[in-house]
Amino acid sequence: MEILKYTPAHNNFRQRLQDFLAEEVTPYADQWEADKIVPKSVWRNMGQAGFLCTDVAPEYGGLGGDFLYSLIVAEEMTKTRQTGLLASLHSDIVVPYINSFGSEALKRKYLPGCVSGEFVTAVAMTEPGAGSDLAAMTTAAVEEGGEVVIDGSKIFISNGLNADLVVVAARDPAEENSHEALSLYLVESGTPGFERGRLLEKMGMWSQDTAELFFSKCRIPRGNRIGQKGTGFLMLMDKLQQERLICAIMAVAGAERIQEWILEHCKQTTVSGKPLAKSQAVQFALVEMATEVKLGRTFVDKLVADHIEKKNIVIETSMAKYWTSEMLNRVADRALDLCGDFAMSEKCQIVRAWRDAKIMTIFAGTNEIMKGIAAKFLGL
């Protein structure tokens, strides 16, 4: 029994996206990995084709679609073998802050560009000395008349170089309550006092332009604050369910791609005159991988259905984020082992997939934090 019900419109959208990615993304994945960045023109092409911010209302240029469209984009992007064009981050993690909490003026100013790809977005939370601890954040935002002055730095910011618009988390230094001190602000590229640092060298996700961001007496209009002052923590918490669900979707889809590839590899690769897949040890390994992938798919599809129904599944998405990301790494490790000597070559598809999988246990909240959240809900 299928958990998710796709309409002909969903299926048509998936086919159009597959055609777009096959022509404009996948053929260039290797070059983007070498360049360590994706051309901004690809973001615009993807937006103009209607594949960004699919949940944004038509009045702002969007499709007004349900979360299944986001699921489709996340799944299909895993097949492209690149991570620089991180559409789900833009569409389903960053832009929802504007779409859900932004003033009407901010929505009309920025949402059409986010949909079209004119604005590539990033969210700046992580700091060199704070990591995942929002309460330890030191980036300051001080309101002066009709302006807000931001001072501080951020690190490990995805889309850091390509971003035209950044959602910045900063705190009022005069507010003692660390949670009530936090607010979210929109900072445009080119704003005086906003500078980008170096492109960070990473173990994986080479084509993703992850960078440092610096704010020194960076002045923005007070109207660029998202929501009420001091509500940043609540907004971040409100969107973490979807963010972690997106991560779980990406992890399961990535594991499915690895499992499909290694299955064919073992069928076609011969050792001592017979296919690897005829070895009982290899068969058992492949069955174990396939079982874990199916368990992950069933769990995530159920959570997607619950999310669409607007159920509170904070604990479940925390569990899913940690389990699926660790499952992805288990599948990648096992697949790499089955590749034998071929795993030493960059021509082996699993090598890149293995590298890219490692970060999944860290971003959007480390898996240790996910377990801590679930422990609290269990009354521990």
What pLDDT, in 10s, does the model give residues 190-223? 999 999 999 999 999 999 999 999 999 999 999 9
* Radius of gyration from C-alpha coordinates of the chain: 21
Domain boundary at 82, 103, 119, which? 119
Taking residue 174's Cβ as centre, other Cβ atoms within 10 Å add up to: 9
Cα 105 from Cα 318, distance rounded (Å):
34
φ, ψ for residue 207, nearest 5 deg: -80, -5
φ, ψ for residue 155, nearest 5 deg: -140, 160
265 shares its domain with 217? no
> Would residue 243 show up in a list of annotated catalytic residues for this protein?
yes
156 shares its domain with 250? no
Give, for 367, the enclosing helix (H) or strand (E): helix 367-377
What pLDDT, in 10s, does the model give residues 247-303? 999 999 999 999 999 999 999 999 888 999 999 999 999 999 999 999 999 999 999
Domain boundary at 61, 86, 119, which? 119
φ, ψ for residue 150, nearest 5 deg: -110, 130
Domain extent, residue 308, equals: 233-377
In this prediction the pTM is: 0.94
CATH of the domain at 267: 1.20.140.10
In 3-state terms, what secondary structure has residue 364?
coil
Cα 207 from Cα 32, distance rounded (Å):
5
Cα 153 from Cα 170, distance rounded (Å):
10
Confidence of residue 20 (pLDDT cuts 50, 70, 90): very high
Tell me if 289 sits within 8 A of 260, measured CB to CB.
Answer: no
pLDDT in the model for residue 377: 86
pLDDT in the model for residue 190: 96
| Token digits of residue 194 | 């906003």
Q: Is residue 114 part of a domain?
A: yes
The rounded percent of the chain whose pLDDT value lies above 70 is 99
242 shares its domain with 218? no
What pLDDT, in 10s, does the model give residues 124-154? 999 987 776 777 889 999 999 899 999 999 9
List the helix and strand counts (H, then E) for the chain: 12, 10
213 shares its domain with 252? no
| Token digits of residue 18 | 């597959």
Cα 236 from Cα 224, distance rounded (Å):
17
pLDDT in the model for residue 179: 83
Q: Is residue 2 part of a domain?
A: no
Residue from 33, 75, 127, 243 carrying the catalytic annotation: 243
77 shares its domain with 200? no
**Residue closest to 216 by CA, chosen among 197, 192, 198:** 192
What pLDDT, in 10s, does the model give residues 307-350? 999 999 999 999 999 999 999 999 999 999 999 999 888 899 99
pLDDT in the model for residue 274: 92
pLDDT in the model for residue 171: 95
Cα 86 from Cα 67, distance rounded (Å):
17
Domain tally, the chain: 3
Tell me if 225 sits within 8 A of 185, measured CB to CB.
Answer: yes
Contacts of 59 (CB under 8 A, 6+ apart): none
245 shares its domain with 373? yes
The rounded percent of the chain whose pLDDT value lies above 90 is 88
**Residue closest to 169 by CA, chosen among 126, 128, 211:** 126
Angle, helices 8-24/67-77, rounded to nearest 10 degrees:
30
CATH of the domain at 90: 1.10.540.10
pLDDT in the model for residue 132: 66
Tell me if 216 sits within 8 A of 207, measured CB to CB.
Answer: no
